[in-house]
Structure 1
Amino acid sequence: MTGIIDVHTHYVPKGWPDLSTAAGGGSRWPWLRVDSERDAMIMIGSDEFRRIGENCWSGERRLAEMDRDGISAQVVSPTPVFFCYDRPVDQAVRVSRIFNDLALEICAADPDRLLPFCQVPLQDPDAACAELDRCVTAGHRGVEIGNHVGDRDLDDAGIEMFLRHCAERNVPVFVHPWDMPDSPRLQRWMARWLTGMPAETHLSILAMILGGAFDRLPRNLRICFAHGGGSFAFWIGRVDNAWQRRPDVVGTSRQPPSSYVDRFYVDSVVFDPRALRLLVDTIGPDRVMLGSDHPYPLGEQPPGQVIRANPLLSDSEKAALLGGNAQTFLGATPPGS
């Protein structure tokens, strides 16, 4: 695989079975209200959740937009509203199977350019491992997971077991924030997305570092955090300072938090050239990959513009961010493993 690779995009099928029946009961399931051939609304029960267009479900439309924007390949991941981590395990398994199979249908338009990542019932590690194996056999190229399951973060023993299984199977993992805290203060201005998502991602990276997950997991685990790793890069000095001054309360990691930046990837969707320069300087030029959050309105348009037009990046850094690092993430062993 060569060229420019976007590791952060999402899909939504044009339709799926009634989940209250297909999953075996329950209420407030997501469903799709199709308003026209090119326009639909994701519904949660009777509430409108998000308006979407045909580039969510049409592989051909996605390919045309990729050609327009100069994108060679996309990682096509679930939209987190379908994760169902709060549902009974048997229901989450059924929902995962439905959406994972529909993802393969969307990506069948060009499997060399549309690279499906599956979802799993992460609340149950055995079921999650089984669904991952089924999906990889069927053609999925990786897995997207939410950044937590209720109050269980990524250093939870069960989630860590699943991540170990991904490493053993040589399957890349994309971590996406979801299920952000809610309050009246966060309901204004899309604040759950503007502040909650960066904070959730930052917290999950801290959990893997300070909770000791990176010390316990094999180095060949390939894991990427969405949205530039949230606020982590800007506050890494604060975290190191806390680790050094209050080791009695700040984590159990063997090394200072900044020592672990070579254990994970982040995407580039930070929108500002100076922020991207800081991200590359902090995480490393071999650990940042083009991500756009296509096709949603808060994504970068056109994809990769902040990399390609960035006067603060060298040509070699741009080449790594636009595709070279993603090739390693998707199919090779990370350096130093």
Structure 2
Amino acid sequence: MIIDIHGHVSSPAELYAYRSILTAGRGAHGRAGIKLKTEAVLRAAERHVGLLDRVGTDVQFISPRPFQLMHAESPAKIVDWWTRATNDAVAAQVEAFPERFRGVAALPQAVGTEPEAWLDELERAVLELGFIGVLINPDPAEGQELGIPRVGHEWWYPLFAKLEELGVPALIHAAGCRSDRENYSEHMITEASRTAISLANSRVFEHFPNLSLIVSHGGGSVPYQVGRWRAARYLEYTQVEAYDNKDGEAPPEIESFDDSLRRLYFDSLVHDRKALALLVQTVGADRVMLGTEVPGSGSPIDPLTGNQYDDLTRSIQSYDWLDEADRALILEGTARRLYTRLPRSGR
């Protein structure tokens, strides 16, 4: 079986019309809500299922579309209402195609709120809707400099504690972007890079040893720039200790950056065969899971190969240096191990 851990909901236009109503009225007209008709959900997701068939994916984990999450909007109540509506839309698509999809929840990460405020919706999604994972936006301010701590900071610990309690993994994925410096796609890769480095240099996994965090889009630039972070770890902890040590004793042993990085997991969503190979070789096959976003930004045809950019299963199956056991981990095994709420057998 082939499991894709990174996909997003395909919903009818009525869902996004509801978003427009919320942002236009800023909650003045109340929550109202929306109930998507089953026929509309089926029509919206039919093409999605066809694309999964084309690339050979059996089951995909779907979440709300990140760039639509509007975490930087105000007041916070409309972010909460919208998050609940989009999670309900994901649940509707899972219900319409129960053999093909599993739900991953968004959180109401409105600017000005703290992680404790997000936990009710997390519990609802997992315990009532049956979702198996959660999406975390590492920058709810959407590119604005508003002082929100990076993901390795203790500010995030209440969320991590609840994730560990519920036994659900989190896919870390940036949402919208309001910065003049970069567009949405650029911001997404920037935040993936910042998050991987922040977590690797943090004490998060000392406090939450059973927490499973997955950095989307292959960890951004980290695999490509890993030598810089190896050197930074050496300079920060080793050379300074040796310089200050007057007795000439060996510096204390420290964890290498590579070992710290391997406390994280990564999806395969880099849209390039060589880049994906570098990721697997850098962090290990047991730390990478198939994630494609099909249908998404990589669905156009690559003129060099004649295949979709996000047909990453084809790349994984083509690596002659990857043995069958490691290939199976990337395509199914590690996802089954981390997502403990996924049925143990079948779909």
Q: Is 1:226 aligned with 2:216?
A: yes
Specify the code of the residue in structure 2 equivalent to 1:203. Answer: R
Q: CA deviation at 1:228?
A: 0.7
Q: Tell me the equivalent position of 2:104.
A: 117
Distance 1:105 1:221, change over 3 A: same
Q: Is 1:74 aligned with 2:60?
A: yes
Q: Say whether the 8 Å CA contact 1:174–1:223 is kept in structure 2.
A: yes
Specify the code of the residue in structure 2 equivalent to 1:327. Answer: R
Q: Say whether the 8 Å CA contact 2:42–2:96 is kept in structure 1.
A: no
Q: Say whether the 8 Å CA contact 1:24–1:91 is kept in structure 2.
A: no
Q: CA deviation at 1:210?
A: 2.1
> Could you state the TM-score of these two structures normalised by the residue count of structure 2?
0.75
Q: CA deviation at 1:80?
A: 1.1
Q: CA deviation at 1:274?
A: 2.9
Q: CA deviation at 1:172?
A: 1.3
Q: CA deviation at 1:125?
A: 1.5
CA distance in 1 between counterparts of 2:286 and 2:124 reads 31
Larger radius of gyration: 2
Q: CA deviation at 1:181?
A: 6.8
Give RMSD over aligned pairs. Answer: 2.9
Q: CA deviation at 1:24?
A: 8.9
Q: What whole-Å deviation, never above 9, does each CA across 1:39-83 have from its counterpart, x for those lacking one?
A: xxxxxxxxxxxxxxx999733433333233221100111111232
What does residue range 71-220 of structure 1 map to in structure 2 within 5 Å?
71-86=57-72, 87-122=74-109, 123-137=113-127, 138-150=129-141, 151-152=147-148, 153-180=150-177, 182-183=179-180, 186=182, 193=185, 195-216=186-207, 218-220=208-210
Q: Say whether the 8 Å CA contact 1:96–1:120 is kept in structure 2.
A: yes
Stretches of structure 2 that go unaligned for 5 or more consecutive residues are: 28-39, 142-146, 241-253, 300-308, 343-347
Q: Is 1:5 aligned with 2:3?
A: yes
Match 1:323 to one of 332, 338, 342: 332
Q: Tell me the equivalent position of 2:286.
A: 286
Match 1:241 to one of 231, 242, 252: 231
Distance 1:20 1:196, change over 3 A: closer
Q: Say whether the 8 Å CA contact 1:273–1:312 is kept in structure 2.
A: no
Stretches of 4+ aligned residues off by more than 4 angstroms: 20-24, 54-57
Match 2:316 to one of 307, 313, 318: 307
Specify the code of the residue in structure 2 equivalent to 1:149. Answer: P
Stretches of structure 1 that go unaligned for 5 or more consecutive residues are: 28-53
Q: Say whether the 8 Å CA contact 1:6–1:74 is kept in structure 2.
A: yes
Q: Aligned residues: percent identity?
A: 27
Q: Say whether the 8 Å CA contact 1:55–1:62 is kept in structure 2.
A: no
Structure having the higher strand fraction is 1
Q: Say whether the 8 Å CA contact 1:7–1:75 is kept in structure 2.
A: yes
Q: Say whether the 8 Å CA contact 1:56–1:295 is kept in structure 2.
A: no
Identify which range, 285-294 or 309-318, moves more after superposition: 309-318
CA distance in 2 between counterparts of 1:57 and 1:176 reads 27
CA distance in 1 between counterparts of 2:341 and 2:234 reads 35
